[in-house]
Structure 1
Amino acid sequence: MNKDLLHHSLTLVDLPDDGLTARFYDILFDRYPQVKPMFSRNTRQQASMLRSAIVSVVDHLDDADWLATTLGTLGARHAGMGVTEPMYGAVAECMVAAMTEIGGDQWTPEMSEEWTAALGAVASMMLAGYPAGETGAA
């Protein structure tokens, strides 16, 4: 992964008041309304936690142990909430869509590709934390 590109592109779209992650949830619920019941009505706190997680992952891209441990633990929590493997693809799609929208003319296809790959890697590490046989794959 290109840490510099991920960091730079995140600075382009990391809006005040968790604007990126709030927009992400708008897109997610519009494209995948079936996941909305998994969340509280007010996603403000969730948006804040998601923003913090994204920043932490980018900050720790050089620390494989931290990533594996932290994301595995996070994955185990998500398994307990009913998050299934296909949902990770939807999350990546909607996050890149939010980033592309917010980034506007400064956002490049290379940034989208890098974020798609990074979010796929995050999903893999989170799924590694799921109890055996509980990824909810189709």
Structure 2
Amino acid sequence: MSIDPVLVKRSFAAVEPHGSEVTAYFYRHLFDHHPGVRGLFAEHLDDQQDRLWAALGALVANLESTDTLVGILRDLGSRHAGYGALPEHFPAVGDSLIATLRHYAGDTWTPEAEASWAAVYGVVADTMGSAMAAAGPAPSSG
């Protein structure tokens, strides 16, 4: 399915009032369902939650500005490579993102909205994954 920007923006607008609850839920879901990724994150997640929220807002705000969006995603991919993130982590993150949005979006969450978000996340994963590959593996700390 293709991305329907109206559905993505409408569902995100329903999620936005929940603010920091959204990112806290996301990380709980991620670590409960995919505990193997916990080691990639700091013990305290306040700053990380703020960065995730900002990235989601930027993603939705620039959904129809391809060049800007690709630039944001490439930058995120390069930075995540430095944190030790791998393309294999994307399915876990995507599962938790969709579960979180579904939880908070209320009546705006429809099968079509979910399909649009899945398509958006596919672009995110592909673009960030390419940037991660170009950046190379994180330096080892040993």
Q: Same fold judged by TM-score > 0.5?
A: yes
Which position in structure 1 is the counterpart of 2:6?
4
How far does residue 103 in structure 1 lie from its aligned partner after superposition? Answer: 2.7
Which position in structure 2 is the counterpart of 1:19?
21
Aligned counterpart in structure 2 of residue 30 of structure 1, from 24, 29, 32 = 32
Contact kept in structure 1, 2:8 and 2:60, CA below 8 Å: yes
**Given the alignment of the two structures, is residue 110 of structure 1 paired with residue 127 of structure 2, yes or no?**
no
The within-5 A match list for 1:22-101 is 22-101=24-103
How far does residue 118 in structure 1 lie from its aligned partner after superposition? Answer: 0.4
Long gaps (5+) in structure 1 = none
How far does residue 75 in structure 1 lie from its aligned partner after superposition? Answer: 0.2
Q: How far apart in 1 are the matches of 2:120 and 2:74?
A: 15
- Tell me the alpha carbon deviations over residues 17-73 of structure 1, each in whole angstroms, 9 at most, x when there is no partner: 421111010000000111111111221211111111011111111211111222111
Q: How far apart in 1 are the matches of 2:65 and 2:94?
A: 22
How far does residue 131 in structure 1 lie from its aligned partner after superposition? Answer: 3.8
Q: Quick one: percent identity of the two aligned structures?
A: 33
Q: How far apart in 1 are the matches of 2:44 and 2:17?
A: 19
Q: How far apart in 1 are the matches of 2:120 and 2:106?
A: 20
Contact kept in structure 2, 1:12 and 1:103, CA below 8 Å: yes
Q: How far apart in 1 are the matches of 2:135 and 2:57?
A: 30
TM-score normalised over the length of structure 1: 0.88
Q: How far apart in 2 are the matches of 1:65 and 1:133?
A: 20
Which position in structure 1 is the counterpart of 2:129?
127
How far does residue 106 in structure 1 lie from its aligned partner after superposition? Answer: 4.3
Aligned length: 135
How far does residue 105 in structure 1 lie from its aligned partner after superposition? Answer: 4.7
How far does residue 6 in structure 1 lie from its aligned partner after superposition? Answer: 0.6
**Which structure exhibits the higher relative contact order, with contacts defined as CA atoms closer than 8 Å and separated by 6 or more residues?**
2
Q: How far apart in 2 are the matches of 1:131 and 1:100?
A: 30
TM-score normalised over the length of structure 2: 0.86
Contact kept in structure 2, 1:13 and 1:103, CA below 8 Å: yes
